[in-house]
Amino acid sequence: MTKARLLSIATQFRQAIVAAKEDKAFAFNDRMSGFPRGCCDDAADLFAHYLYHKYRIVSIRIDGAHHDGNPENNCGHSWQEIEGLIVDITGSQFYFNSTLLNYDIDVYVGQMDEFHSLFEVERSFPSRGIEELSEGCWCRMYGLYEIIIRYLAERAVF
Protein backbone atom coordinates (compact mmCIF):
# COMPACT_ATOMS: atom_id res chain seq x y z
CA MET A 1 0.00 0.00 0.00
CA THR A 2 1.32 3.45 -0.85
CA LYS A 3 2.14 6.09 1.72
CA ALA A 4 -0.53 8.37 0.22
CA ARG A 5 -3.18 5.64 0.53
CA LEU A 6 -2.20 4.92 4.14
CA LEU A 7 -2.40 8.63 4.93
CA SER A 8 -5.87 8.82 3.38
CA ILE A 9 -7.14 5.79 5.31
CA ALA A 10 -5.63 6.97 8.60
CA THR A 11 -6.99 10.50 8.13
CA GLN A 12 -10.49 9.25 7.42
CA PHE A 13 -10.37 6.96 10.46
CA ARG A 14 -9.20 9.79 12.70
CA GLN A 15 -11.85 12.14 11.31
CA ALA A 16 -14.52 9.58 12.18
CA ILE A 17 -13.21 9.42 15.76
CA VAL A 18 -13.16 13.22 16.03
CA ALA A 19 -16.72 13.47 14.66
CA ALA A 20 -17.92 10.86 17.14
CA LYS A 21 -16.20 12.72 19.97
CA GLU A 22 -17.74 16.04 18.90
CA ASP A 23 -21.19 14.41 18.81
CA LYS A 24 -20.53 12.91 22.26
CA ALA A 25 -21.08 9.42 20.85
CA PHE A 26 -18.49 7.98 23.24
CA ALA A 27 -19.55 7.52 26.87
CA PHE A 28 -18.52 10.56 28.89
CA ASN A 29 -16.49 8.39 31.26
CA ASP A 30 -14.65 6.55 28.48
CA ARG A 31 -11.21 7.90 27.74
CA MET A 32 -12.06 8.05 24.00
CA SER A 33 -14.29 11.00 24.89
CA GLY A 34 -11.05 12.93 25.42
CA PHE A 35 -9.49 11.88 22.10
CA PRO A 36 -6.65 12.15 21.25
CA ARG A 37 -5.28 12.70 24.74
CA GLY A 38 -4.64 9.55 26.72
CA CYS A 39 -6.06 7.05 24.26
CA CYS A 40 -3.25 6.35 21.82
CA ASP A 41 -3.21 2.64 22.73
CA ASP A 42 -6.95 2.24 22.19
CA ALA A 43 -6.84 4.26 18.98
CA ALA A 44 -3.91 2.17 17.72
CA ASP A 45 -5.79 -1.07 18.48
CA LEU A 46 -9.00 0.18 16.87
CA PHE A 47 -7.13 1.33 13.79
CA ALA A 48 -5.27 -2.01 13.60
CA HIS A 49 -8.63 -3.79 13.75
CA TYR A 50 -9.94 -1.66 10.91
CA LEU A 51 -6.83 -2.20 8.80
CA TYR A 52 -6.97 -5.95 9.24
CA HIS A 53 -10.70 -6.44 8.74
CA LYS A 54 -11.08 -3.97 5.87
CA TYR A 55 -7.75 -4.38 4.05
CA ARG A 56 -6.19 -7.57 5.51
CA ILE A 57 -3.20 -5.55 6.67
CA VAL A 58 -1.39 -6.83 9.74
CA SER A 59 0.30 -3.85 11.32
CA ILE A 60 2.91 -3.70 14.05
CA ARG A 61 1.82 -1.96 17.23
CA ILE A 62 4.62 0.04 18.80
CA ASP A 63 4.53 1.03 22.47
CA GLY A 64 7.17 3.54 23.43
CA ALA A 65 8.19 5.38 26.57
CA HIS A 66 9.79 8.78 27.00
CA HIS A 67 12.10 9.32 29.99
CA ASP A 68 14.40 12.32 30.22
CA GLY A 69 15.32 12.37 33.91
CA ASN A 70 12.40 14.61 34.88
CA PRO A 71 9.50 12.43 36.16
CA GLU A 72 7.01 15.11 35.07
CA ASN A 73 8.03 14.48 31.46
CA ASN A 74 7.71 10.69 31.56
CA CYS A 75 5.01 9.38 29.28
CA GLY A 76 4.12 6.61 26.90
CA HIS A 77 2.85 6.63 23.36
CA SER A 78 1.56 3.99 20.94
CA TRP A 79 1.27 3.90 17.17
CA GLN A 80 1.20 1.45 14.27
CA GLU A 81 3.91 0.58 11.79
CA ILE A 82 3.03 -0.67 8.34
CA GLU A 83 5.63 -1.71 5.79
CA GLY A 84 8.28 0.32 7.61
CA LEU A 85 6.12 3.44 7.90
CA ILE A 86 4.95 4.92 11.19
CA VAL A 87 1.20 5.54 11.21
CA ASP A 88 0.23 7.71 14.17
CA ILE A 89 -3.26 9.13 14.57
CA THR A 90 -2.82 10.56 18.09
CA GLY A 91 0.53 12.36 18.12
CA SER A 92 -1.14 15.77 18.29
CA GLN A 93 -2.06 15.10 21.92
CA PHE A 94 1.43 16.39 22.75
CA TYR A 95 0.99 19.83 21.19
CA PHE A 96 1.21 21.45 24.64
CA ASN A 97 4.43 19.69 25.66
CA SER A 98 7.64 21.46 24.66
CA THR A 99 9.72 18.49 25.84
CA LEU A 100 7.96 16.48 23.14
CA LEU A 101 8.49 19.21 20.54
CA ASN A 102 4.94 20.57 20.82
CA TYR A 103 4.08 17.85 18.30
CA ASP A 104 0.84 18.85 16.60
CA ILE A 105 0.52 16.56 13.59
CA ASP A 106 -2.94 14.97 13.66
CA VAL A 107 -2.02 12.09 11.34
CA TYR A 108 1.55 11.15 10.64
CA VAL A 109 2.56 8.58 8.05
CA GLY A 110 6.25 8.37 7.36
CA GLN A 111 9.70 7.32 8.43
CA MET A 112 11.07 7.72 11.94
CA ASP A 113 11.04 11.42 12.76
CA GLU A 114 12.44 13.49 15.60
CA PHE A 115 9.24 13.20 17.69
CA HIS A 116 8.86 9.42 17.49
CA SER A 117 12.56 8.93 18.14
CA LEU A 118 12.02 10.50 21.58
CA PHE A 119 10.26 7.28 22.62
CA GLU A 120 12.21 4.18 23.50
CA VAL A 121 10.39 1.17 22.08
CA GLU A 122 9.29 -1.01 24.97
CA ARG A 123 7.10 -3.37 23.00
CA SER A 124 6.28 -4.11 19.39
CA PHE A 125 4.04 -6.86 18.12
CA PRO A 126 1.91 -7.79 15.11
CA SER A 127 -1.64 -6.55 15.54
CA ARG A 128 -4.87 -7.60 13.92
CA GLY A 129 -6.98 -5.63 16.34
CA ILE A 130 -9.48 -6.29 19.06
CA GLU A 131 -9.42 -10.09 19.09
CA GLU A 132 -5.79 -10.00 20.21
CA LEU A 133 -6.67 -8.02 23.34
CA SER A 134 -7.83 -9.62 26.58
CA GLU A 135 -11.45 -10.74 26.52
CA GLY A 136 -12.21 -8.38 29.38
CA CYS A 137 -12.02 -5.37 27.08
CA TRP A 138 -13.70 -6.81 23.99
CA CYS A 139 -17.14 -5.43 24.79
CA ARG A 140 -15.85 -1.88 25.28
CA MET A 141 -13.56 -1.98 22.26
CA TYR A 142 -16.17 -3.48 19.93
CA GLY A 143 -18.60 -0.80 21.10
CA LEU A 144 -16.09 1.93 20.27
CA TYR A 145 -15.31 0.30 16.94
CA GLU A 146 -18.98 0.16 15.95
CA ILE A 147 -19.33 3.88 16.70
CA ILE A 148 -16.30 4.72 14.57
CA ILE A 149 -17.46 2.50 11.70
CA ARG A 150 -20.87 4.16 11.78
CA TYR A 151 -19.23 7.58 11.45
CA LEU A 152 -17.05 6.33 8.61
CA ALA A 153 -20.13 5.04 6.80
CA GLU A 154 -22.16 8.21 7.40
CA ARG A 155 -19.40 10.27 5.88
CA ALA A 156 -19.01 7.82 2.98
CA VAL A 157 -15.26 7.85 3.37
CA PHE A 158 -14.64 4.17 2.64
What pLDDT, in 10s, does the model give residues 93-145? 999 988 888 889 999 999 999 999 999 999 999 998 888 887 888 899 999 99
Residue 23: what pLDDT?
96
Residue 156: what pLDDT?
60
pLDDT one-digit tens code per residue, 42-93: 999 999 999 999 999 999 999 999 988 877 778 999 999 999 999 999 999 9
Residue 97: what pLDDT?
83
Burial 117-142 (b: 16+ CB within 10 A, else e): ebbeeeeeeebbbbeebeeeeeeebe
Let me know if 32 is exposed, middle or buried by CB neighbors in 10 A (0-12, 13-18, 19+). Answer: buried
Query: Cis link prior to 36 (omega < 30° from 0)?
Result: yes
Residue 157: what pLDDT?
47
103 contacts 61 by C-beta, under 8 angstroms: no
The answer to pTM > 0.95 is: no
Residue 22: what pLDDT?
96
Residue 82: what pLDDT?
96
How does DSSP classify residue 107? S
